[in-house]
Structure 1
Amino acid sequence: MDLLFIVRTLARRGLLKPGSPNRVADQLNALRRWGFTLAGELRAAEARDPHRIAIIDEHRGPITYRQLMRRAQRLATALGATRGVGPGVRVGLMCRNHAGLVEAMVACSLLGADAVLVNTALSAPQLAAVAEQQQLRLLLHDREFAPTAAAAACERLDESSVEALLAETPQQRRHEVNRAGRTIVLTSGTTGAPKGARRPTPKGFGPLVSIIDRIPLHVGERILISAPLFHTWGYAALQLALAMRATVVLQRRFEPTATVQAVDTHGCTALFAVPVMLQRLVEAGAVPARPPRITAVSGSALPGGLATLFMNAWGDCLYNLYGSTEASWASIATPADLRRDHRTAGRPPHGTRIAILDPTGRPVARGEIGEIHVGNEMLFEGYTRGPGDPSAADLRGGLLGTGDLGHLDADGLLHVDGRADDMVVSGGENVFPRPLEELLAQLPQVREVAVVGVPDAQYGQRLAAYLVLHPGQTLDADEVREYVRHYLARFSVPRDVHFLPELPRTATGKVIPRLLHPM
């Protein structure tokens, strides 16, 4: 990445503001030793602004960068001395958004251990499979997950046990190594068991600059992270926050009224969320007295029209990042992009390449649909199945296929048309569920919708629509089909129309197709 671009962006966002020479030196030394890991970013932030509030935890209150660093060091000492956690050991973390999870992630990094971020929605059998596959030595979990955690064939510590361990650990002892640990994020598992994807460590300021150039975060922001920290997007938000020496506000559960109250009470200037959370905020009519400058979302597609509805209520503050656990980011849509076309995924940030390729690997013409391929500094290192090197990522000319189909419009904006394995071949026609979902979402009676392909004896496959209606609203299948006939081709008209009380979703709002069942 161009050095001048990096310097200019860092200066624009306040990261090159002069400070105490000693503190600046300590900050740079921390990054030099630990790199751009969570431990390195936290050490650097503590060196520069030790008394700045790092986290506002809804139960523990405000925690400074120095306090957060010292708690993480003590936890590292305790886990290393009493549980044998060290380089290469895998530690599972099954926690909601709170300071204890951050401390545990940093402690693992300080010990050279790999932190495996576990989805809090996993069932006991799924957790047992993850623990075996990832060869977990230890599982740290919130108290509420004790029944599920019992399925993991490894040692387990809940919040109370961790606090007792910290109380027994002398403040002055430190148990650290020179090799920072890695972070493993589990894929969403919408079509099967979740897999572990090992996140790379940024090699410099390039990845940070790529994001803050397009999403205008400044040093010292107050950021409410509502997206789950165990997910790539929530984890990325935490990395950005530590790098920007921000104050992070955390709540264990998302609820629209509580979210708005947190924004107002703590003066949050940024909100990181997933699209389904915005939908709940719009439905609840929840708007802060002073909305944040930045609301950044990722993790799943924005439902039809939601971007416009949200910005009409909260102002033009919405940034939508399209990416995946494996590719990190591919493109970012700014408020201006979303006002131009609410369906767009935006443009690739600086240092990122996008190619739309056909099945033979050749670029398709502008406007044609192909598989989206991405290249950037943060492509995942491969899937993991226990300690050791991960399987290599499957690259094509340095680009990673996302598994999504999309196209570039005349203005160069990326549009995601759906998953490659979601495409339905009905009577020889290639049909994509996304346009039908977008159309049905515009019906005033419809709260949310999912469209999938199902087997058909005559045509091979056909579309099936699953709708959730707003309370008190009515709609029947024939009305839905007649509405679709007015706007789409006949092969897009769903023969099957089902009404559900809710759609099965992951913690980040992705619909789980295998769990869709008609009433």
Structure 2
Amino acid sequence: MSLDQATLIFEGRTHAPEAFSALWRRNAAALQAQSVGDGDVVALLMRNSVEAIAAMVAVRHLGAIWCPINWHLKTDEVAYVLAASGARVLLVDAPLLAALPGLDTAGARPFTVRGEVPGVSAWAPLRDDAAPLTAPPAPPRGAMFFTSGTTGRPKGIVRQPMTADQAVRQAEMRRLAYGTAPDMRALLCAPWYHSAPCNYALGIVQEGGTLVVEDRFDAERTLALIEQQRLTHAYLVPTMYVRLLALPAEVRTRYDLSSMRFVSSTGSPCPPEVKRRMIEWWGPVIHECYGASELGYMTLLTSEQALRKPGSAGMPLPDVTLKILDDEGRELPRGTPGLIWIDQPATPDFSYAGNAQARAAMARGDLKTMGDVGYLDDDGFLFIVDRAADMVISGGVNIYPVEVELLLQTLPGVADCAVFGIPDDEFGEALAAAVQPAPDADLSPDAIRAWLHDRIAGYKVPRVVTLHDALPREDTGKIFKRRLREPYWTGRSRRV
């Protein structure tokens, strides 16, 4: 199988196919010894590493579900994910666990990876003492990513087992979205706990390619790796493009990038000017997909199409049904914005753990919507103009304002608040909070941000906090977020 032909490179060390195959198969055997099997959940709180990719492959081989956890989360946030996922086992990098004092792992038995923590069993001895598992793979179930919306706490995506037909369709989708090929030499420097980088890494090893894994993104190092490793593929997000383009001209021209054949970009819209400059520099290798953790990839935009249709999210992938509907479910004419509804048959159906109501609310027959608003032009290209939900995408990371709002409302002295997205030249969007203090409350923007920093991941803390005597409201009493957002977006060519 191709998984036994993959090569991984991390921190200067090459894990040849035989070594990587033995690593993930020993992981599978050790997990099986912990009674992990079909449909069970294994939580993975691990930074980018060969160990993380091997653990993911092992869990998948057993027909179990891997639950990647964002390593920026604080103790209470991680505890919530562990409890909501129902994980049986937690594999966690020792430094990350040490930074989560008092963590309640619920029913998940913790094991440390890449280091030790007193009182917690180390995973390496169990894994290394296990004979590589040779049993055939169980039907794969995919990952449980935690996502959210306008209803508060994150929801775990529970995927149905993949059918044989869907496996074939997925392989074709990877070929189109990632440019997969057995001889590919690919770079992953985005956090693997996000759905797109996670699926990218899995797609490369499934193809039996070579995957260079970086712990974090560094613009000049990325250029150096392309030259040194003769890389052909990469997963990058628009924020990375901005940082690459910000390098001095003498640095950008110092490296040979001629080996690059295919760059995959997802997560957040790429400003047309940024994409144009990247194509001028790297050539017509930049590809952008519009997708969602729940639904998979839906559209694809090539470099040629991006230059011809600036600002577009692309055309539907093969077999994808994409419709623009009004509130009554009627299909809208070309050029008229409405809710985007999708059917992606390559992606197995899903439910939200413990939240059937939220899953039902996004469906209309076989079609599903993530609440994004867009239109199709006369040539069938999708343009996204807004998000009906309040989700903010900053640097490719989904941030759900309602989660921050619910926390802010517990801060003494806060009468009400609204959190929303504002433009950011590097990250696409940043978070802003408008706070209405209670009478006689002594609050300052810096104090509010510091209070939040102690309680939630840093990327969720609003970059801008403003104080208001009263927040604008609709006739229903609901805060009029659009009025709060408008001043920040005036004069911008896009609103997401």
Does residue 350 (structure 1) correspond to residue 299 (structure 2)? The answer is: no
Task: Report what 1:72 is aligned to.
Answer: 24
Moved more, 110-119 or 219-228: 110-119
RMSD, matched Cα: 3.4
CA contact under 8 A between 1:295 and 1:318: conserved in structure 2? yes
SS in 2 for 1:148: coil
Count of equivalent residues = 407
Q: CA deviation at 1:133?
A: 0.8
Distance 1:158 1:106 in 2: 18
Moved more, 278-287 or 261-270: 278-287
Distance 1:447 1:141 in 2: 28
Q: CA deviation at 1:420?
A: 1.0
Distance 1:126 1:406 in 2: 33
Does residue 312 (structure 1) correspond to residue 265 (structure 2)? The answer is: no
CA contact under 8 A between 1:94 and 1:118: conserved in structure 2? yes
Distance 1:215 1:223 in 2: 10
Does residue 86 (structure 1) correspond to residue 37 (structure 2)? The answer is: yes
> Structure 1 segments of 4 or more deviating over 6 A?
390-393, 451-454
Cα-to-partner distance string for 1:176-202 (whole Å, 9 max, x where unaligned):
576345233324447643221134526
Matches within 5 A, 1:13-412: 43-46=1-4, 50=5, 54-58=7-11, 61-81=13-33, 83-146=34-97, 147-148=99-100, 151=103, 152-153=105-106, 154-159=108-113, 160=115, 161-169=122-130, 171=131, 174=133, 176=135, 179-189=138-148, 192-200=152-160, 201=162, 203-213=166-176, 216-285=179-248, 287=252, 288-291=255-258, 292-303=260-271, 305-385=273-353, 394-412=362-380
TM-score by length of 2: 0.73
CA contact under 8 A between 1:96 and 1:120: conserved in structure 2? yes
Q: CA deviation at 1:58?
A: 1.8
CA contact under 8 A between 1:118 and 1:185: conserved in structure 2? no
Distance 2:266 2:277 in 1: 17
Tell me which amino acid in the other structure corresponds to 1:148: L
Cα-to-partner distance string for 1:388-425 (whole Å, 9 max, x where unaligned):
9x9678532311112100001222211011211349xx
Tell me which amino acid in the other structure corresponds to 1:54: T
Distance 1:115 1:393, change over 3 A: farther
Task: Report what 2:463 is aligned to.
Answer: none
Tell me which amino acid in the other structure corresponds to 1:121: H
TM-score by length of 1: 0.70
Task: Report what 1:497 is aligned to.
Answer: none
SS in 1 for 2:235: strand
CA contact under 8 A between 1:90 and 1:114: conserved in structure 2? yes
Distance 1:453 1:333, change over 3 A: farther
Percent identity of paired positions between Structure 1 and Structure 2: 24
CA contact under 8 A between 1:453 and 1:461: conserved in structure 2? no
Distance 1:304 1:87 in 2: 44
Cα-to-partner distance string for 1:230-276 (whole Å, 9 max, x where unaligned):
22211221233134321111011112122222222111111112222
Distance 1:87 1:185, change over 3 A: closer
Distance 1:265 1:92 in 2: 34
SS in 2 for 1:238: helix
Distance 1:128 1:453, change over 3 A: closer
Moved more, 241-250 or 122-131: 241-250
CA contact under 8 A between 2:239 and 2:427: conserved in structure 1? no
Distance 2:194 2:39 in 1: 22
